[in-house]
Amino acid sequence: MIIGIGTIYLRANWVHSLKEKRMIVKSITAKVRNKFNVSIAEVENQDIHQSIVLGIASVSNDSRYANSVIQNVLDYIESNTEAVVEDITMEIL
């Protein structure tokens, strides 16, 4: 069993409330779940208005496929949000 893990750190400077942030996070996570069939959740900084940290996981039997899925998800998030990407990490276990 191969597990692909990705973390993306986003900065949304225009967000002024946790309610506004949660709407953005819900939108991103719903779109990613529907499109890629991966697990995704906000994993850090839940109480900081302008910081969004999303964790993504995919299980596969092929490391190249797991890597490809995680990379495609990260690229999709980058291209479909107005937030600035601060950092991205990927790991295949």
Q: What is the pLDDT of residues 4-42, one digit of tens each?
A: 999 999 998 888 888 999 999 999 999 999 999 899 999
Per-residue pLDDT, 30:
94
User: What is the domain range of residue 26?
Assistant: 2-92
Per-residue pLDDT, 49:
85
Question: How many domains, in total, are found in the chain?
Answer: 1
Apex CA 8: angle with CA 64 and CA 28, to 5°?
Answer: 100
Domain of residue 86, CATH code:
3.30.70.1120
* Percent of the chain clearing pLDDT 90 (strictly above): 63
- Alpha-carbon distance 31 to 38, whole Å? 11
- H-helix or E-strand containing 15? none
